Structure formats: structure tokens, C-alpha cells
Amino acid sequence: MKLHAHTRTSFIMSPTKQEIRRNIRQLKADTPADERERLSAEACDHLRQLPEWRTAQTVLLFAALPDEVATQALIAEAAAAGKRVLLPVVQGKELELRIYTGDENLREGAFHIAEPEGKAFTAFEEIELAVVPGVAFTHKGHRLGRGRGYYDRLLPQLTVALKVGLCWPFQLLDNLPHEPHDIMMDLVIC
């Protein structure tokens, strides 16, 4: 028996993680640099409006790659305001956190990410706010990363911190494939 093309599937298949990553990568590429810059400024402004941002003394941020919300000004501003700013450093298959002490103490690390020098910060219970990148998020707080699992291994250790996903609006989706063990964001800002 031969099936006609329109009767092969009677349901809509959800996109795979790889398909979502590919689609988001294309959306990023299709968005002009000046528009990404404007959207980054808006997302960072929304983050600054959080009461938790204003009161947090120890914050985890990320040094953005070119295809992520630009965080360089946010990092410098937080440090200038007296916040203890932590940035991740790739160590094998794990993320180690280190204190940001200025751009002069950054070096290019794994994946061409700016990483601070110095010793590891391990007092995870002191982190009040964790700002996390992702390929895509949902309104409910599900997160899809790049697929290497670095944040999947770090986030369970941040039991006290308010976890905030930071993204551009086109990275906020209705649904994402997720596993029961995935750590959800408390809030997603774009």
C-alpha cells in the first residue's frame, strides 16, 4: 500500500534540539549587527530593573560571544558598582567560576571566550543572582544550551541564586524539548 504525502503523518512533530539550534543560529545570522546591539541594550536594561539586580552583591554573569546578548558593559558596570562579579572559565568538561577584576585580567579561553585569571570561586551559596546564556528559552524557564552541558553541570550547584536566562526576543520560544533533570530558569529576560 502506498501512502500519499499528505497522509504520512497525522501529527506535527516537535523540532529536535539540533533543529532548534540550527534555526536560532540562522535567525541570529539574519539579524543585523545594529539590531542585535539594540536588542542587547534593551535586555540588559530589563535586567537592571530587577530588584534582585539592584540588591545582589555577588552575581554570576557571562562574557558574551558575538552571537549572544552583549554583556561587556553590564559586567564593567556591576564591578564599578561594587558587586562581586563572577565569570565562568572552562576547565575540561566543567565551568569554574572566577572573580572578574577588570578587563586587563581577562584572557582568551576555550571557544574564544574572555575568561578571568585567578583562583576558583567555590562559595556558591553566596551567589545571589546567576545570569545565564542559552540558545533558546521558554516563558516557563526551560533552557536549551549549545549542547556541551557546561551549564547543566553548574546550575544544580547554585541552590540559592535567582537564575535568570538572558536572550534576544527571537530566542524565546513556546516549547523546547527538555528532560526531568534539567534546571529551569526562575526568570527569562529579553
Kindly indicate the confidence band of residue 181, based on its pLDDT and cuts at 50, 70 and 90: confident
Structure confidence at residue 151 (pLDDT): 95
The C-alpha cell 547543566 sits at 152
| pTM for this model (two decimals) | 0.89
Please indicate, yes or no, if residue 2 is contained in any of the structural domains. no
Please indicate, yes or no, if residue 138 is contained in any of the structural domains. yes
Paired sense of beta strands 143-144 and 172-173, if any? unpaired
Phi, psi of 164 (to 5 degrees): -120, 120
Which CATH number is 29's domain given? 3.40.50.10420
Structure confidence at residue 28 (pLDDT): 97
Range of the domain at 80: 17-189
Q: Produce one character per residue of 135-157: b if its CB has 16 or more CB atoms within 10 Å, e if not.
A: bbbbeebbbbbeeeebbbebbee
Total domains in the chain come to 1
Please indicate, yes or no, if residue 6 is contained in any of the structural domains. no
Please indicate, yes or no, if residue 78 is contained in any of the structural domains. yes
All three cell numbers of 66, joined, read 558575538
Average pLDDT on 156-176 reads 96
Please indicate, yes or no, if residue 1 is contained in any of the structural domains. no
Please indicate, yes or no, if residue 9 is contained in any of the structural domains. no
Please indicate, yes or no, if residue 93 is contained in any of the structural domains. yes
Percent of the residues in the chain that have a pLDDT greater than 90, as a whole number: 81
